[in-house]
Amino acid sequence: MADQNNPIQIEKLHLPGDALDAELRRAFTTYEAKNPQYGADWLANLASHALDDHDAAVIYIARLGPENFVACPLRIDSRDKRAYSLSTFYTSAYSPLVCSDTPETLFLALFQHLAKTEKLAMLTLSPMDPDAPEFGHMQRALSRAGWTGTHAFFCFGNWIHDVQGHSYQTYLGSRPSSLRNTIARKTRKFFDADRGQIEIVEGGDALETAITRYVTVYNNSWKNEEPYQDFTPALLRLAANRTWLRLGIASYDNVPVASQIWLVCGGTAYIFKLAYDENYKHLSPGTVLTARMMQRAIDIDHIARIDYLSGDDSYKADWMSERRQQHGIAAYNPYSLRGMAMLMEYKLRKLAKTLWKRER
């Protein structure tokens, strides 16, 4: 879409299927180096394996030229014309692509198009780094584009640790003594009489067996059944192909009892998924495996940062040293009756929460 008064073009690509041009693919590669979840391969896997039948994965692009553009990967729910960032509960970080010195002008045009032409009722973008420039650009552009009720909201805490070039032993020495003592005690117990084994798989011939063992552990864990059961195996194959994968399997008497998915990309080790068999909880196989994975990431992969991704689980404070927050942005379309109804619902919930706090 373009006219003489507004030279900005709006493009729409569908995932999977539509090809990315060279400039867009380069932008995805640049952002992937910041976080693999920003990359085209991750989003394509999500679009192929983690959406419902009523969802569509779309990339909206606003361009002023081949190399001057912004792009927003979105998930469109056809039931109520809501749009979300192209993310699910698997996602711990989302970002649009910004390849422009005037991104707010481009976002303004894009959000006007989503409101008036696409007639989306509501837009929710999360989870995002609230300190990233993209966050501010989008929030301001939504308000300028006429979306109402635009507001930021808290998503979750995110624990990280900057390695600062230290060795694993130095890192371990900086952790609480209670954690160090637990690691030493449980490691001795786990490997006593050669009953415990740990394998870290990056790919190759061992990958499919490791995936099967991961699924076995997950199914015997406390975690809920995966709603999209093809997503994680496909991600493991993708990560192996991209050399990101560190799939740790702890076995006891040759039975897989704990598994962890770590992704190493751009100097960061992302701890993506953890699980252990509850029947072996007394051995703390997850703690033993985490320590070995941490040692591998620091001393062999020489990563600069460890990222525990989403969640404020209390144990993460023992392993990490810094807590950040991920936020989101929500806005409502005043040109849509459904959008105005959603805005009223949001305002009523906000009022009820305020009154409840006053009563307390």
Provide the pLDDT confidence category of residue 186 given band limits of 50, 70 and 90.
Answer: very high
**Whole-number percent of the chain with pLDDT over 70:** 98
Over residues 264-307, the pLDDT tens digits come to 999 999 999 999 999 999 999 999 999 999 999 999 999 999 99
**Closest to 274 measured CA to CA, from 288, 286, 256:** 286
Strand 9-15 relative to strand 255-265, pairing: unpaired
Cis peptide before 176 (omega within 30 of 0): no
Q: Is 63 exposed, middle or buried (0-12, 13-18, 19+ CB in 10 A)?
A: buried
Phi and psi based region of residue 312 (left: phi greater than 0; alpha: psi -120 to 50; beta: remaining): alpha
CA distance to 66, 185, 209, 219, 262, per residue, from 285 (Å): 51, 12, 20, 16, 16
Residues 142 and 106: beta-carbon distance below 8 Å: no
Q: Do domains 9-157+325-359 and 164-303 have the same CATH topology?
A: yes
User: What CATH class has 9-157+325-359?
Assistant: alpha beta
Q: Where are the domains of the chain?
A: 9-157+325-359, 164-303
Dihedral (CA of 220, 223, 225, 229) sign: negative
How many residues can be counted in the chain?
A: 360
CB < 8 Å & 24+ apart, contacts of 101-104:
101/68, 102/64, 102/68, 103/70, 103/133, 103/134, 103/137, 104/137, 104/140, 104/141, 104/144
Instruction: Count the Cβ atoms, other than its own, within 10 Å of residue 83.
Output: 23
CA distance to 200, 219, 224, 250, 289, per residue, from 283 (Å): 19, 18, 22, 11, 11
Average pLDDT over residues 227-252: 97
Give the pLDDT score at 359. 75
Give the separation between CA 127 and CA 325, rounded to whole angstroms.
9
Residues 124 and 87: beta-carbon distance below 8 Å: no
Instruction: Count the Cβ atoms, other than its own, within 10 Å of residue 292.
Output: 19
Average per-residue pLDDT for the chain? 95
Non-local (6+) Cβ contacts of 281 within 8 A are none
Q: 164-303 has which fold?
A: Aminopeptidase (3.40.630)
Provide the pLDDT confidence category of residue 54 given band limits of 50, 70 and 90.
Answer: very high
Give the pLDDT score at 6. 64
| Alpha carbons within 13 A on the beta-carbon side of 166 | 14
Non-local (6+) Cβ contacts of 126 within 8 A are 84, 85, 87, 94, 153, 155, 326, 327, 328, 329
**Closest to 130 measured CA to CA, from 323, 327, 329:** 327
Over residues 192-224, the pLDDT tens digits come to 999 999 999 999 999 999 999 999 999 999 888
Structural tokens at position 107: 């976002």
Q: Which residue has the tokens 């954690």?
A: 179
Provide the pLDDT confidence category of residue 5 given band limits of 50, 70 and 90.
Answer: low
Give the separation between CA 41 and CA 45, rounded to whole angstroms.
6
Residues 271 and 300: beta-carbon distance below 8 Å: no
Give the pLDDT score at 224. 83
Listed range (246-250, 265-269, 343-347) with the worst mean pLDDT: 343-347
Please name every residue paired with 162 in a beta bridge, in sequence order, or none if there are none.
305
Give the pLDDT score at 208. 97
